[in-house]
């Protein structure tokens, strides 16, 4: 059945199947029947989404709607605090299954948090720490990864002469780009970001946005944001979360110009949230 785009739909109906990717679209990550419980409280009841490769997908919605719960489940950050049911399919493997080596999986599905959390180490060591732990010893190779990761995170020019300096001496925006560089150094496929710019000033925010737009050439990006302009500026797709459900999922330009669901429209118009 064709959907009438102007019609306000029944908001309790599952809408996840409305968006149809092109047949040749590569899906980097997909959740199926995902449900998350904190004790008996079902924080996410309908969280089925597909993420297209080399695109940015924003997760938006009011506080408590389940965005972070969803995002954190994607690379098993909720394992110790919640029960996550359902499948998270990555390259044909359900990475939500018990057999999966979570640390190995996180090399492929990296996460950047809201507050920049660099290690109290030098800029260089922030990038090389995990690589060395994994047994990489070759100095030239390590230096090359430091340079490429910092370049990709648009921080290289500012820190290249100071790689031995403490990461804690960097500005908030620079620290966040260092954390992004640290995540990239592991060569992930997918980068998850939980409000990465919400603690930053407008200039740093705009630099992070530029960085993400460049990174999407090589990475699939999923970002939680409260900033509607940010979602509109940088993302290809947007998922609107409401009370633990993905209520609407579509191309970003459609979500922000012609949302199909009234509640989405209310949220992006600033009527609640
Ligand atoms: N560690 C936790 N333990 C218990 N309940 C939690 C926990 N984390 C989140 N919740 C609950 O799960 C629901 C969804 O929260 P979540 O943080 O995912 O929402 P959100 O959309 O990311 O909100 P915000 O925008 O405020 O970060 C809320 O009811 C919240 O209270």
Looking at domain 27-268, what is its CATH homologous superfamily?
Answer: P-loop containing nucleotide triphosphate hydrolases (3.40.50.300)
Nearest to 104 by CA among 114, 93, 115, 113: 93
Secondary structure in 3-state letters for the chain: CCCCCCCCCCCCCCCCCCCCCCCCCCEEEEEEEEEEEECCEEEECECCCEEECCCEEEEEECCCCCHHHHHHHHCCCCCCCCEEEEEEEECCEECCCCCCCHHHHHHHEEEECCCCCCCCCEHHHHHHHHHHHCCCCCHHHHHHHHHHHHHHCCCHHHHCCCCCCEHHHCCHHHHHHHHHHHHHHCCCCEEEEECCCCCCCHHHHHHHHHHHHHHCCCCEEEEECCCHHHHHHHCCEEEEEECCEEEEEEEHHHHHHCCCCHHHHHHHCCCCC
Nearest to 34 by CA among 273, 207, 245: 245
Residue 4, pLDDT > 70, answer no
* Ligand 1 atom at minimal distance to the Cα of residue 70: 18
What whole-number distance in Å separates Cα of residue 193 and Cα of residue 59? 10
Q: How far is the CA of 43 from the centre of ligand 1 (A)?
A: 7
Predicted confidence band at 17 (pLDDT cuts at 50, 70, 90)? very low
**Which pLDDT value is given to residue 18?**
54
ipTM: 0.97
For a ligand 1 pocket test, name from 35, 66, 246 the mutation site with the most ligand atoms within 8 angstroms of its C-beta: 66
Q: What is the pLDDT of residues 175-202, one digit of tens each?
A: 999 999 999 999 999 999 999 998 888 9
Question: Could you tell me if the CB of 245 is within 6 A of ligand 1?
Answer: no
What whole-number distance in Å separates Cα of residue 217 and Cα of residue 210? 12
What whole-number distance in Å separates Cα of residue 203 and Cα of residue 86? 40
The whole-model pTM stands at 0.90
Q: Residue range 45-52: average pLDDT?
A: 92
Q: Residue range 251-261: average pLDDT?
A: 93
Q: What is the pLDDT of residues 81-133, one digit of tens each?
A: 999 999 999 998 999 999 999 999 999 999 999 888 999 999 999 999 999 99
Residue with the smallest CA separation from ligand 1 atom 6 is: 38
Q: How far is the CA of 107 from the centre of ligand 1 (A)?
A: 25
Question: Could you tell me if the CB of 68 is within 6 A of ligand 1?
Answer: yes
Q: What is the pLDDT of residues 125-135, one digit of tens each?
A: 999 999 999 89
Mean pLDDT score across all residues of the chain: 90
Predicted confidence band at 16 (pLDDT cuts at 50, 70, 90)? very low
Cβ contact 47:34 at 8 Å: yes
**Which pLDDT value is given to residue 13?**
46
Domains of the chain by residue range: 27-268
Residue 1, pLDDT > 50, answer no
Residue with the smallest CA separation from ligand 1 atom 30 is: 64
Q: Residue range 231-243: average pLDDT?
A: 96
């Amino acid at each position: 059945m064709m959907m009438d785009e102007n019609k306000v739909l029944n908001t309790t109906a599952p809408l996840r199947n409305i968006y149809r990717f092109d047949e040749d679209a590569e899906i980097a990550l997909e959740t199926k029947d995902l449900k998350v419980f904190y004790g008996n409280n079902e924080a996410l009841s309908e969280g089925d989404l597909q993420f297209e490769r080399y695109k940015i997908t924003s997760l938006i919605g009011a506080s408590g709607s389940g965005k972070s719960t969803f995002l954190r489940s994607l690379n098993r950050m909720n394992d110790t605090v919640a029960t996550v049911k359902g499948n998270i399919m990555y390259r044909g493997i359900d990475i939500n299954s018990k057999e999966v080596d979570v640390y190995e999986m996180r090399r492929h599905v990296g996460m950047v948090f809201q507050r920049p959390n660099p290690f109290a180490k030098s800029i260089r060591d922030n990038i090389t720490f995990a690589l060395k732990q994994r047994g990489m010893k070759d100095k030239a190779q390590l230096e090359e990864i430091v340079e490429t990761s910092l370049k990709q995170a648009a921080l290289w020019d500012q820190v290249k002469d100071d790689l031995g300096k403490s990461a804690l001496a960097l500005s908030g925006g620079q620290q966040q780009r260092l954390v992004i560089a640290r995540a990239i150094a592991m060569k992930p496929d997918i980068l998850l970001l939980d409000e990465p710019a919400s603690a930053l000033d407008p200039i740093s925010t705009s630099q992070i946005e530029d960085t993400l737009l460049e990174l999407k050439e090589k990475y699939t990006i999923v970002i939680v944001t409260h900033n509607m302009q940010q979602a509109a500026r940088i993302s290809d797709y947007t998922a609107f979360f409401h009370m633990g459900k993905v209520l609407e999922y579509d191309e970003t330009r459609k979500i922000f110009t012609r949302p199909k669901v009234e509640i989405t429209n209310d949220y992006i118009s600033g009527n609640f949230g």
